Amino acid sequence: METMFIDGKWIAAQSGETIDVVAPADGQVFDRIGRGGMYEIDLAVRAARKARSGAWGRMSATERGRILTKIGVGVLDAIDLFAPIEARDTGKPMTTARNDIVVLARYFEFYGAAADKVHGEVIPFLDGYAVQLLRDPLGVTAHIIPWNYPAQMLGRTLAPALAMGNAAVLKPAEDTSLSALKFAEIAMAAGLPAGALNIVTGYGHEAGAALTAHPDINFATFTGSNEVGTMVQRATAANVVKCVLELGGKSPQIVFADADLDRAVPIIVKAIIQNAGQTCTAGSRLLIERKAYDEVVGRVAEAFSKTRVGTPEMDLDCGPVMNPAQLARVQGFIDAAKSDGIPVLAEGKLAAGLPSGGYYATPTLFGPVPRNNKLARDEVFGPVLAAFPFADEADAIALANGTDYGLLAAVWTENAGRLTRVAKAVQAGQVFMNCYGAGGGVELPFGGTKRSGHGREKGLLALEEMSSTKTLVHYHG
């Protein structure tokens, strides 16, 4: 299986081994990818290094931007082919898959247009000196992405790296590598030089571990679980390589009694159901001011019970979860909460006629959840929402900040002072005020605090994250 894209050529794993690709909607094997490892990673890193010192490294920022923009157009032109690949590989509804491809294109439009607008600085210094601050690419960048939004993630991580002139090696998730392979065809057709982007498919503990431990990478960005993120940080530290970690979340929706519920309720439900809850920024905790608790959970429960789960072709509110391990994990949380006696307030519906081998989880709303319960603290990464009452503003902030995570938060209130006070007090990389944006907003700097990770992606800040500065000090007398 020639599913590795290295130095502008398609190659198979040297071992000849492959990994089955399974459709979450029916559990059937429908494709295979190569099982790359240390050998292929080394080839890819060498190809990237060569590209840095070749045509790609010498290319002007304007020309790089032009290629990225062309990639964005190529992605959109291919959407009718691309979206069904992504939908089958992930199980997500077709509309969601199409939206993910649009976002992938949007990353290349945004960073393509930004490539030649990264300016240096002139720094006032002593008499007789001129000082310039140049912004340089880091060199060879390593990118490891998860299975929940494969197309979006590859746009998020690759577009700013390439815009800055880095040469990249991508290791997609073993469950969902197909959109990355389709993407490589489009990038090549748009004129991306050989070696500027290399893709090695394979398992995390093999290809992923080999990439993050490679002595000739200059930067690594990882999106995925906290367990693996810690390993990535250790591996890169051994070579003093900078890393950005985008990890999990347990993001709160903080709803005060005066909130505009007509606006809030559908957004709150979508923020947990979208992508079957497999979104690091899912709004998985619903914090409600006690005096409005019954009304708010009643309204959310009514909307939640109307959500429907189906195959990509049924195109309902969400699809299956990714794999049997993820289904067992989500079901484990649901079973544990039930056996702890936490009331089920609402359940979504599995559509009739679902294929029997698919990995379908029933969306479930629990509440009130005790604050020390596992469901209050741990990330489920599934369509499970936990409701909690709070007493007042101070209690809301304490509850919101009471987990190890700090990725996103939302505050819902018509009181402008409280809206800003609470938003400033919540520990999170993004806070939405009377709105919510799980996954959205190419323009908006994004990343975690606490155990949700460190470093920033998206927006213009990603260009700083994926570059370095050099200070030139010139004595001219």
Six token digits for residue 147: 């299975």
List the catalytic residue out of 109, 246, 289, 465.
246
Q: For residue 174, state whether it binds ligand NAD (rule: CB under 6 A).
A: yes
CA-nearest of 102, 101, 105, 115 to 66 is 115
Nearer to ligand NAD, 5 or 390 (CB): 5
Nearer to ligand NAD, 396 or 442 (CB): 442
Buried/exposed 79-102: b ≥16 CB within 10 Å, e otherwise = beebbebbbbbbbbbbebbbbbbb
Other Cβ atoms closer than 10 A to 352: 8
Among 205, 338, 371, 424, binds ligand NAD (CB under 6 A): 205
Buried/exposed 264-280: b ≥16 CB within 10 Å, e otherwise = bbebbbbbbbbbbbbbb
Kindly identify the residues of this chain, within the stretch 329-348, that bind ligand NAD according to CB under 6 A: none
Q: Which residue is nearest to ligand NAD (CB)?
A: 204
Give every CB contact of residue 290 below 8 A, 6+ residues apart in sequence: 389, 390, 391
Q: For residue 164, state whether it binds ligand NAD (rule: CB under 6 A).
A: no
Give every CB contact of residue 275 below 8 A, 6+ residues apart in sequence: 92, 96, 148, 149, 282, 318, 439
Using an 8 Å Cβ cutoff, are 48 and 168 in contact? yes
Residue 443 among the catalytic residues: no
Residue 280 among the catalytic residues: yes
Among 381, 388, 432, 436, binds ligand NAD (CB under 6 A): 381
Q: Report how far residue 255's alpha carbon sits from residue 289's, in angstroms, rounded to the nearest whole number.
A: 6
Six token digits for residue 15: 């071992």
Q: For residue 280, state whether it binds ligand NAD (rule: CB under 6 A).
A: yes
Residue span 132-151 as binding mask against ligand NAD, x where in contact by CB under 6 A, dash where not: ------------xxxxx---
Q: Output the smallest distance, CB 144 to ligand NAD, in A.
A: 5
Q: Output the smallest distance, CB 134 to ligand NAD, in A.
A: 30
Nearer to ligand NAD, 228 or 422 (CB): 228
Kindly identify the residues of this chain, within the stretch 218-247, that bind ligand NAD according to CB under 6 A: 223-225, 228, 231-232, 246-247
Q: Output the smallest distance, CB 188 to ligand NAD, in A.
A: 22
DSSP state for residue 290 in the 8-state scheme: G
The residues binding ligand NAD (CB under 6 A) are 144-148, 171, 173-174, 204-205, 208-209, 212, 223-225, 228, 231-232, 246-249, 280, 379, 381, 453
